[in-house]
Structure 1
């Protein structure tokens, strides 16, 4: 993981100010993109002076790195469908419904915060690319954990390649979110997740027949 280029404040007030700066920057960058967000806009949204931003961050790149960490935490640790325990077929079906329902309720706006940042930063900011890759790896490990539990319980065949299946789920989720963002319909997301879960179920013993 790249070294941080920001300073963590020692006081509660300082921590709250820094958190306000990062959350405001994250909201602006999610809506307008990284390139479309200026530090002046961040100062206005966070109700701070520019000197306060530079007190906590060396430059805009350091603030972007903090936003990447913030969005990863919001997606992976802040609750919601992405944190569900996926160790049964019922759990996978409930997860799909929760993901689709949540995104439909948003009006299919914005896509995935981690995916959106990846589209902008992966090819031009190596520091951010590494952080984003780590976030996706954490996300995939969550899928792997559930699938490994199912394999141990006999719900998946013993020869199921858990990491590969987890990658397929994550790719289906990200692709479905992107298509639904463009079409403004949750249909693509639901279809993508239906396909991913159908792939998982094809590895269940009861659906396996020898040639």
Structure 2
């Protein structure tokens, strides 16, 4: 779905899919094991995780670029920074899901990230 972030409906469907996936997965997240344990000790595992996160961030940035070209997001929006912030929010929400078993933090991160994208305002401090 990341390759199809070409409308707000597509972004909303992707949001729902992310939440559904993590809700179904619960506290059994294979990537978190690699990120949290193995990744700190293994350069190879760290490289795999970095590659996965870089591809995810690039796909989000591509979706933002598309929306900018369509006039749905401000051209002033730094797409790479916005994608990085959205990805960090998702990963933080997943980390809290692993600790609490709840998706409300993940949902909040996505909702606030989308709100910023819709308003096309990012803090450039």
Q: Who is 2:5 aligned against?
A: 86
Corresponding position: 1:98 with 2:9: no
Task: Go from structure 1 to structure 2 and tell me whether the alpha carbon gap of 1:144 and 1:181 turns closer, same or farther (over 3 Å shift).
Answer: same
Unaligned runs of 5+ in 1: 1-80, 205-211
Q: TM-score, normalised by structure 1?
A: 0.53
What is aligned with 1:110? 28
Paired residues of 1:84 and 1:95 also in contact (CA < 8 A): no
- Larger RCO (CA within 8 A; separation ≥ 6): 2
The aligned runs of 1:1-211 (5 Å cut-off) are 83=2, 85-106=4-25, 108-111=26-29, 113-203=30-120
Matches of 1:199 and 1:116 in 2, distance apart?
30
For 2:20 and 2:43, locate their aligned partners in 1 and report how far apart those are by CA, in whole Å: 34
Shift of 1:172: 1.0
Q: CA RMSD in A?
A: 1.7
Q: Distance in 1 between matches of 2:55 and 2:100?
A: 28
Structure number with the higher helix fraction is 2
Structure 1 runs (4+) greater than 6 angstroms displaced: none
Q: CA deviation at 1:127?
A: 2.2
Distance in 1, matches of 2:46 and 2:72, equals 35
Aligned pair count reads 121
Alpha carbons of structure 1 residues 138 and 102: separation in structure 2 relative to 1, 3 Å? same
Distance (Å, rounded) in 2 between the aligned partners of 1:104 and 1:134: 24
> CA shift at 1:131, angstroms?
2.2
CA distance in 1, matches of 2:32, 2:65: 25
- CA distance 1:115–1:86, shift in 2 (3 Å): farther
Supply the distance in 1 between the matched residues of 2:3 and 2:12 (Cα, whole angstroms). Answer: 11
Q: Who wins on radius of gyration, i.e. which is larger?
A: 1
The whole-number CA distance in structure 2 between the counterparts of 1:116 and 1:136 is 15
Deviations 1:135-169 (A, max 9, x none): 11011111111111011111111111000000011
